Amino acid sequence: MEMEEWNEVAWKSPSNIAVVKYWGKHGRQLPNNPSLSLTLSECYSTTHIRFRTADSLRITFFFEGNQNDSFCTRVEKFIHNILPEMPFLSTMELVIDSGNSFPHSAGIASSASSMSALALCLCSMEEAISGKALTTDDFMRKASRLSRLASGSASRSVYGGYVEWGKHLSLPQASDEYGTPIESVHAAFKNWYDAVLIVHSGKKNFSSTKGHTLMAENPYSAVRYAQADAHLGKLVEILKNGDVDAFIALCEIEALTLHAMMMTSGVGYFEMKPNSLKIMELIREFRASTGVKLAFTLDAGPNIHLLYPEESRTRVLPFIREQLSPLCQNQQWIDDKLGNGPEKIA
Ligand code: PMV
């Protein structure tokens, strides 16, 4: 359908934190191992797209109200890459306006939230232009697949709760192409929090694209992929049976292994800062001395995600305030929790 007048779609989409980490890819953004994450609630991106029919594809990109050419280049590259899936985009003028709920300078990876919000908007545009609505399942699967093509971890952000991405024997419906929500989750894992401790907000030493690429030469990669596969199977069982201690152990070894992969890739590089290590040590000491359930994990950067169930909250909050936030940049941390996934904005 021709759209002479401006139309608009908008989505809010959250970030996620992986417990079993995706690190290493092949082909068209396909993962070398399956991964499983928690979708967050307070760290999200909001994206509005105004669109109308044009002679050719034209994109203007605003980030938090300011025209941003470097983000625009990334979005253009992505949209050109998905033209085979969405040919209607080749004759569209798009004005994209995106923003994050968290400070851009917080050093939080925003690609999962921003790219999933963008992919959801493109799927809504397609529905508006074609006049054909997909079922919710098909819509979300398509949005997850497109998100993956922009940023692998974004494929998991289109669903709430616990989300898996990548083929695995224990999950017959799982795919390398898109994320799949985990249905069978014990009550012990329903109300979890994530305190995002901002140790350092600067740019990472290496982009995740570079990190994934370096895995091809990493001498331990085959062992890592086998381990991730085994961890994924274990985690699916843990989520089903409610074994919080097993979750904590698995969560921490996954985080440390991710960083071990960086230290053993190429000439070796590291993203943790001295305070990342101090915080992890304090978390282990606190757990050992109090019995409070909590676990650390990390993305590919220096910030620590402290995961804990609701019943630990009254003990964890003073611990953060007194011992951990002094180790954060400007005492900065974000009080986040397990979320329900993206929301379409009317
Ligand atoms: O989605 P990417 O390409 O930025 O890769 C992110 C990988 C990790 O965040 C380190 C792990 C994960 O599974 O989210």
Q: Which of 183, 215, 233 is at the close of a domain?
A: 183
- Helices and strands (DSSP H and E) totals, the chain: 8, 14
**Nearest to residue 156, comparing CAs of 173, 143, 137, 139?**
143
Q: Which of 17, 19, 20, 22 to mutate to test the pocket of ligand 1 (most atoms within 8 A of CB)?
A: 22
Q: Tell me the two tokens of residue 320.
A: 């953060």
Side-chain half-sphere of 338: how many Cα atoms within 13 Å? 18
> Probe ligand 1: pick from 32, 153, 235, 299, max atoms within 8 Å of CB?
153
**DSSP letter string, 197-253:** E-S--S--SS-HHHHHHHGGG-TTHHHHHHHHHHHHHHHHHHHHHT-HHHHHHHHHH
Q: How far is the CA of 129 from the centre of ligand 1 (A)?
A: 32
Average pLDDT over residues 58-74: 91
DSSP strand pairing (58-63 vs 92-100): parallel
pLDDT at position 116 is 98
Give the end of a domain, one of 152, 183, 214: 183
Mean pLDDT of all residues in 249-272: 97
pLDDT tens digit string along 277-301? 999 999 999 999 999 999 999 999 9
289 and 211 housed in the same domain: yes
**Could you tell which of 208, 224, 256 is best to mutate to test the pocket of ligand 1, judged by most ligand atoms within 8 Å of the CB?**
208
Instruction: Identify the weakest region by mean pLDDT among 104-113, 138-147, 194-203, 330-339.
Output: 104-113
Q: What is the pLDDT of residue 106?
A: 64
| Ligand 1 pocket, residue 271 CB under 6 Å | no
* pTM, full prediction: 0.96
The number of domains in the chain is 2
Q: Are residues 330 and 195 in the same domain?
A: yes
Residue span of the structural domain in which 80 resides = 7-183
Residue 98: closest CA among 83, 130, 120, 82: 120
Residue 107 has pLDDT above 70, yes or no: no
175 and 234 assigned to the same domain:
no
pLDDT of residue 28: 95
Is residue 343 assigned to a domain? no
- Same domain for 195 and 213, yes or no, is yes
- State whether the beta carbon of 276 lies less than 6 angstroms from ligand 1: no
